[in-house]
Chains A and B, each alone.
Chain A
Amino acid sequence: MLIGSRAVQVGFLVGAVALWHLATARWAVSPLLLPRPAAVLRELIDVLATGEFLGDLGVTLGELAAAFALSSTTGLAAGYLVSRSRYWIEVFEPLLAGAYSIPIILFLPLYVLFFGLGPASKIALGATIGFFPIAMNTIAGFGSVEKIHIVAARSMGCSQYQLFRRVLVPAALPVIVTGLRMGFTIALLSILGSETISSLSGLGHRIVHLAENMHMARMFAYIAFAVAIAVVLNLVATLLEERGKRS
């Protein structure tokens, strides 16, 4: 069964590339709209071989790292503090859920106004967007600890710190790491997105810059490269999430 579905997935990809090739080679779709796969591959090899991508990749990854560090520290701390009291949960959870459903990317012009066109505005935006799922899952994680586990630990004489370290954290961890993974993923998306809208560097900026100069094949090569980076990062995040859940 598993092999069967894998084969279909691979076949689907191969079919898409074949259609792409046919569209450009046979059906005379303009290369300005859709460059040939072979041309894109040539550009991609060139981008990789010259190392031209390094600067932009470094900017984007740097922004992502800073944004994730900010959103996870603030999200974990805020989530834990709120989860300490039933009253605070009742007050803050709907607020956070409401804020989470707002498309925060719309505030990008404000962020650019406050933090400039450079990486700072991307970091601030990514940190803001990543904050909400992390904070909400932290609240949910600490809120989902079974009462019997707390009672059992108390009955065996645990200290406040031991209760936190040995019961609350391990009980909450599976939900929290899911929040961290979600926060990481949407921070990456929003950083790439905001780079395409207004920025001076980064992978998103490079893609838009190439499009504006009609370097379509090279733009496609960069898109493919950015997609590959995103896939790898999300894969790593998912693997870490799985490990966090098991420990």
Chain B
Amino acid sequence: MKALAAAIRIRNVSHHFGEEGDPRRVIALRDATLDVARGELMCLIGPSGCGKSTLLSIAGGLVAPSAGTVEIGETRVRGPLPREVAYVFQENALFPWNTVAENVKLGMLFQGVPEAEREARAESALEAVGLAEFAQHFPDQLSGGMRQRAALARALSLQTGILLMDEPFGALDEQTRMILGEDLSVLLAEHRKSIIFVTHSLGEAVFLADRVAVFSARPGTIKKIIEVDEPHPRRPAFVTSAKFHALRDELYSLLHDEIRKTVSESALDRAGRAGGAAGAGG
């Protein structure tokens, strides 16, 4: 569906770490196929180690998949596409030796944007995320939430059609992430970007996403896609609606078994490793 309007086409992508026969070989991702429509926010949710972050890196060309293809627009992805794709990473991806404004401008500098335009675009991006007054601060002078706003401003300033967000609010406390989620929804309603958003949080997924792709436990694959039919910007009241709760419950029941599987597997894993190569490190 919506195949013509797809901004990102992920076809049969698999990925493993380590060679065949290596006992430490990990199959991170198995045969994932996904279309992200233009202007759509697609959330990826799943248990730890299900390969959702790996899929994000593959979609943006930061990691080459073991099998399968990704297309962005008409282009087959074979490496980073800085003009089409911008990232927001989990945390600490701002350069601590640069001020917030310098951080935002650096991406544009890499892409050869002229100085005056860099200045203007950085200013409006910082304005948009509510950090205009903190342009001259260094990242370590900001709270975790403000740092992620700055990282978002850096990504927005690059004016790409696609935004890939890897658990951007994962390290923040619940209340901060609620506010950031609301603000993000407002921003995105204005900018209409195509977004893949990786998260652990059920509520965050339902609140932000147009569709949520639910991953199975490792080796991860997409188990089901859930639609959240609610216009952007999402209002805070959406969180208390019956619809929100129904969707959240559906996600919960889909995920619950997968998370159990992951937890018991990793416990077995650890027991196996303790018996085997102690001190191998990893």
Contact = CB atoms under 8 A, between A and B. Distances in A.
Interface of A: 146, 148-149, 151-159, 162, 166-167, 170-171, 173, 247
Contacts of B110: 153, 156-159, 162, 166
Nearest to B60: A155
B97 A170 contact: yes
B111 A149 contact: no
Interface string B85-98: 11101001101011
Contacts of B97: 170-171, 173, 247
B82 to A, nearest CB: 3
A163 B95 CA distance: 12
B63 to A, nearest CB: 10
A158 B110 CA distance: 5
B93 A149 contact: yes
B107 interface: yes
Given A167-B95, A171-B97, A152 B87 contact: yes
A154 B92 CA distance: 15
B203 interface: no
A155 B95 contact: no
A194 to B, nearest CB: 38
Chain B, interface SS category: loop
Contacts of A153: 106, 110
Contact of B92 (A148, A155, A167, A170): A148
B5 to A, nearest CB: 25
A156 B93 contact: no
B80 interface: yes
B158 interface: yes
A155 B111 CA distance: 11
A110 to B, nearest CB: 42
B62 interface: yes
A123 B95 CA distance: 39
A158 to B, nearest CB: 4
B83 interface: yes
A163 to B, nearest CB: 9
B95 A157 contact: no
Contact of A170 (B85, B95, B107, B109): B95
A148 B82 contact: no
Interface string B149-162: 00000000010000
Nearest to A247: B97
25 contacts: A151-B62, A151-B93, A152-B87, A152-B89, A152-B93, A153-B110, A154-B62, A154-B80, A155-B60, A155-B85, A156-B106, A156-B111, A156-B158, A157-B80, A157-B82, A157-B83, A157-B111, A162-B109, A162-B110, A166-B95, A166-B109, A170-B97, A170-B98, A173-B97, A247-B97
A173 B46 CA distance: 39
A171 B98 CA distance: 10
A167 B103 CA distance: 11
B190 to A, nearest CB: 22
Nearest to A167: B95
